[in-house]
Homo-oligomer: A and B are copies of this chain.
Amino acid sequence: MANEETIKEVGEFGLIERITGQLSMPASVSVGPGDDSAVFSVDGDAVVSTDMMVEDVHFRRDWCSGFDVGCKLIARSFADLEAMGATSRGCVVAISMPEELQAEWFKDFFQGVSAEVAKARAVLVGGDITSGEKIVATATVFGQMEGRAPVLRSGAKPRDVVALCGRQGWAAAGWATLSRGFRSPRAAVDAYRCPEVPYGAGRIAADAGANAMIDVSDGLIADLGHIAEKSNVLIDIDSSSLEIPGPLQNVGAALNSDPLNFVLTGGEDHPLVATFADYVPQGWAQIGRVLDPVEGSANVLVDGEEWETEYSGWTHF
């Protein structure tokens, strides 16, 4: 794809041809891209989740490359499957792009999609490409339960321990960095551009008997709040158990802000947080406990107190 070509010049079918020529399907996918639908086998119940990213809402083109957007779209979608204890299988991606967009951007996006789909051990089986003023991309991901029971938000029980698997707070630190016009620390900025989903950890949690699970997309307090609400419990986070990695400390110091805020309220890292009756599996770290609900109290506390912050999780509108 020459650098100067636009989407309009390459055309819808040209873009599709360039993609499908690069894809190879495993035997379990009997029909891949290029027909009306994709067809594949599923072991046990099917699991599905859909996620949309909109230019200038979820990403800015001057902050994130096409690769970043593709990678993040796929990562955040498969994180929702992990949070059920499912095994990832495949995905479809729909995207609208302005006609004057460089075809190179789309190539880059597709490479980000492909790289992350491979990390998730899944396959891109189809998609849709259309024109539109802004870039809007939707990923719908599929997995299979392989006989396991799905781990819901509603299963947490008083006296469970709360455990976390994966990085948390990094993306918020990266976003804060970019917002102030800086580009480093690079590790935080990269974490904002594409999360590192702990692929496979959801299945491990399910096999270890997790009672409830969610991926942290909106913030640790906000997402534990979804578990607390659906399970009718109180969750108390032990802040001393939360690691504050060096890059987060550096961003906090540079911006004169408590880096614990990144960890407690930052979204978009997509680690998994789950509750377990007793056994916390390898790779997971205990960060709190589940208590009986208390009338009139917030349903998530930090060290027994309500966490006071101006920012308590991402909401649309």
A49–chain B nearest beta-carbon distance, Å: 4
Identify the closest chain B residue to A52 (Cβ): B94
| A129 located at the interface, meaning its Cβ lies under 8 Å from any Cβ of chain B in the complex | yes
Q: Which of the residues B56, B127, B317 comes within 8 Å of A12, measured between beta carbons?
A: B317
CB of A48 within 8 A of CB of B57, answer no
Q: Find chain B residues with CB under 8 A from A92 CB.
A: 48-50, 140
Q: How far is the CA of A90 from the CA of B49 in the complex (A)?
A: 12
**A297 contacts the other chain (CB 8 A):** no
Let me know if A173 is at the binding interface, CB within 8 A. no
Residues of B contacting A58 in the complex (Cβ-Cβ under 8 angstroms):
130
> Does A3 interact with chain B (Cβ within 8 Å)?
no
The reply to whether A48 and B52 contact each other, CB–CB distance below 8 Å, is no
Contacts of A42 in B (CB 8 A): 42, 45-46
Interface centre among A36, A90, A94, A213 (most CB of B within 10 A): A36
Chain A residues packing against B (C-beta within 8 Å): 7-8, 10-13, 30-31, 34-42, 45-54, 56-58, 80-81, 83-84, 86, 90, 92-96, 99, 125-134, 136, 138, 140, 142-143, 145, 150, 152-154, 213-215, 230, 315-317
